[in-house]
Amino acid sequence: MVVFSVLTYILGFFVGTFFMVISCAILLGERNKVKLLAIPVGVIVFIYVVFEMVLHTNLPAGILF
């Protein structure tokens, strides 16, 4: 969670979330590379659509992005 917070602060919410979801999937035992890329992308698209487009909420932007 500390690494996620630092990544979110520096790189932004979407990049931090991407790496967090991949890390959690690996810790839960997922080894299929296609799923390891498809799941985080799907989660990020879902979060973007719901929060940015539907609810018009600004998600944290990082220093670099």
pLDDT in tens, 17-55: 999 999 999 999 999 999 999 999 999 999 999 999 999
> For residues 58, 9, 17 and 27, what is the CA-based torsion angle, rounded to 10 degrees?
-160
pTM of the full predicted structure?
A: 0.86
Q: Of 5, 32, 29, which is closest to residue 19 (Cα–Cα)?
A: 5
pLDDT at residue 56, as a whole number: 94
The yes-or-no verdict on residue 65 having pLDDT over 80 is: no
